[in-house]
Structure 1
């Protein structure tokens, strides 16, 4: 992966087809997010519904709210968040930890910062296929030291989902997904394969990097880069500081999407039914009748 090797090892390297800065907006109860997917520039990238880079300082947070029809992936970059839901599940994830929640037919939960100071991280929403939208809710949680990683020639990768540099995550993804956290030292480069039929994008967390083509301009932190078709992504760090970014890709579902806030189904009729189920605490939302987070 030396800097002298400029030719990507792909027959069809993926290029950047769209790029924009994820700007701050208010969400939850006093929280601030940089919304990457789910905004005017990029409303949807099948199978991804939303990506937020959130920043929360107590007493702000994300109090009791419902979900149905998709999965949420919360990856902590700094601080800690405490999660609890109406089925009795409760836990705290800290820096480097991951919670992969399948909301399925319905969950009501809260996500609030634990301790003082700023907590920030990424939350990704992944759509579920029509056959999986009404499955029972479930969780997969990985502590930071349980996340598989690899390091070579100035490149470190933490594999949240999928495979990279010869290591594979144990996380089961109902919608086939890769979620890779790369850190490149100065002068390092990486070439990551991506299944040709998948959609993919990059979010730059820290530093600046060159993506797609070695003669492209460097891209700074907090930019979103949507990748075009091809076999894989190449990235170079030509700066004097480290570069950190996530590469996320997934197999498109190619199904209609009907969304009303935290409910994602295939038709408006299913959305109307979901709203009714939530309002009347039935068909998966029975426990919402009396539950409140502590």
Structure 2
């Protein structure tokens, strides 16, 4: 991938992620995965979540994709039927490959409001039934770089000469940028990839055409080109994520937390889950401790 951006990508679509209810008493701002944008290959869902105990995301299954949870504030405890348990706090990352099947819970682990992002990344047909696996990184382990008023946390991919150690089965970049007032960035993106920006704080100008400043909770889909141009012309810091991925180009059939290629595979997945077989064997007896604690 070239380090020079010669053909900046335009913003081809913009919309505000409005709050909606998910889980049990939790609120999310869903941008990808809503009726306006069902799928942006290879991305299935992007949620900016906000949850306070006793609300949360009690025991639920997944198959056929990966979930990336990036904490912005507070802490969330994850637990699954394989015996994996851990707490991620502000700045921490969990990259979970659900593969052939996992049942887990995600519940608040601190006082007040817990906030973060969760991105669902589709898996190709050859990887949908692999064994579940995790990559977890504490905030201090995530690579960072700074240059000319631009700070970046490299969750996946590469930026400002720094490369993440996270392995992405579906080739992906996930960058957390903060631009000081007056700063600008030109970040390369592979030509064949789909890419988007999600604004977390402040407001910024994105794309190669002149456009009005875009504020928090907006999703921007980027068109064709070799990179992103972004600038902060305001008096406050601008924070946004840039996410890109290689499209799979495969059919998608989704039923809630199950994502496969055909309706027959979805029917089989539902049957597997209901009968606790073919990857869901441990679901028969398992119940998370956090679900019990919070009364679900």
TM-score, scaled to structure 1: 0.97
Q: Please say if residues 84 and 109 of structure 1, whose CA atoms lie closer than 8 Å, have aligned partners that are also in contact.
A: yes
> Using the alignment, how far apart are the partners of 1:206 and 1:152 within structure 2?
19
2:76 corresponds to which residue? 81
Q: Please say if residues 258 and 265 of structure 1, whose CA atoms lie closer than 8 Å, have aligned partners that are also in contact.
A: yes
How well do the aligned residues superpose, as a CA RMSD in angstroms? 1.0
Ranges of 4+ aligned residues in structure 1 off by more than 3 Å: none
* Local SS of the residue matching 2:55: coil
2:162 corresponds to which residue? 167
The one of 221, 229, 232 equivalent to 2:224 is 229
1:245 corresponds to which residue? 240
> Using the alignment, how far apart are the partners of 2:147 and 2:69 within structure 1?
27
Q: Please say if residues 199 and 227 of structure 1, whose CA atoms lie closer than 8 Å, have aligned partners that are also in contact.
A: yes
> Using the alignment, how far apart are the partners of 1:53 and 1:287 within structure 2?
30
> What is the CA distance between 1:235 and its match in structure 2?
0.2
Q: Please say if residues 10 and 209 of structure 2, whose CA atoms lie closer than 8 Å, have aligned partners that are also in contact.
A: no
Q: Please say if residues 190 and 234 of structure 1, whose CA atoms lie closer than 8 Å, have aligned partners that are also in contact.
A: yes
The one of 250, 254, 274 equivalent to 1:255 is 250
* Local SS of the residue matching 2:251: coil
Count residues in correspondence: 287
**Closer, same or farther: CA 247–97 of 1 in aligned 2, 3 Å:** same
* Local SS of the residue matching 2:282: helix
> Using the alignment, how far apart are the partners of 1:111 and 1:141 within structure 2?
15
1:55 corresponds to which residue? 50
> Using the alignment, how far apart are the partners of 2:262 and 2:210 within structure 1?
44
The one of 103, 124, 131 equivalent to 1:129 is 124
The one of 189, 209, 214 equivalent to 1:219 is 214
Q: Please say if residues 18 and 227 of structure 1, whose CA atoms lie closer than 8 Å, have aligned partners that are also in contact.
A: yes
2:293 corresponds to which residue? none
> Using the alignment, how far apart are the partners of 1:43 and 1:178 within structure 2?
20
Residue 282 in structure 1 maps to residue 288 in structure 2: no
The unaligned stretches of length 5 or more in structure 1 are 1-8
> What is the CA distance between 1:215 and its match in structure 2?
2.2
* Local SS of the residue matching 2:45: strand
> Using the alignment, how far apart are the partners of 1:40 and 1:66 within structure 2?
22
2:264 corresponds to which residue? 269
The unaligned stretches of length 5 or more in structure 2 are 290-296
Residue 150 in structure 1 maps to residue 145 in structure 2: yes
> What is the CA distance between 1:11 and its match in structure 2?
2.9
> What is the CA distance between 1:99 and its match in structure 2?
0.1
1:5 corresponds to which residue? none
Q: Please say if residues 188 and 236 of structure 1, whose CA atoms lie closer than 8 Å, have aligned partners that are also in contact.
A: yes
> What is the CA distance between 1:214 and its match in structure 2?
5.9
Residue 37 in structure 1 maps to residue 11 in structure 2: no
Q: What's the CA shift string for 1:250-285, capped at 9, x where partnerless?
A: 000000000000000000000000000000000000
